[in-house]
């Protein structure tokens, strides 16, 4: 019975991760909010230029953003996280 309950909870967590993985639009919003917090104002046409060199990769349970061939951000459960420089190599 305990193993069955663990399997059910694991399945619920996997389904939650799959349904709530971040989108490319949420990454753009994340970056624009981060720039605004730093005090950098962007013109409407400049907002797409900031994320132009980034490559969005959608995995089954998470998403990643690659910049210059290296993962810069990882997203899971509707949240984006910066990948430390040491983990990129």
pLDDT digits (tens, 9 = 90+) for 33-56: 888 888 877 766 655 666 778 899
> What is the total count of domains within the chain?
1
* Residue showing tokens 């690659």: 66
Instruction: State the CB neighbour count (10 A cutoff) for residue 80.
Output: 19
Structural domain span for residue 31: 2-88
Cα–Cα distance, 29 to 81 (Å, whole number): 14
Low-confidence ranges of the chain (pLDDT < 70): 43-50, 87-89
Q: How far apart are the first and last CA of the chain?
A: 43
pLDDT of residue 76: 93
Whole-structure pTM value: 0.76
Give the pLDDT confidence score for residue 64 in this predicted structure.
93
């Amino acid at each position: 019975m305990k193993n069955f309950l663990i399997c059910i909870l694991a399945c619920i967590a996997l389904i939650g991760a799959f349904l709530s993985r971040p989108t490319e639009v949420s990454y753009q919003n994340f970056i624009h909010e981060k720039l605004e917090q730093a005090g950098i104002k962007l013109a409407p046409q400049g907002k797409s230029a900031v994320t132009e060199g980034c490559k969005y990769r959608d995995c089954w349970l998470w998403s990643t953003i690659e910049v210059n061939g290296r993962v810069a951000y990882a997203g899971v459960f509707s949240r984006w996280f910066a990948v430390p420089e040491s983990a990129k190599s």
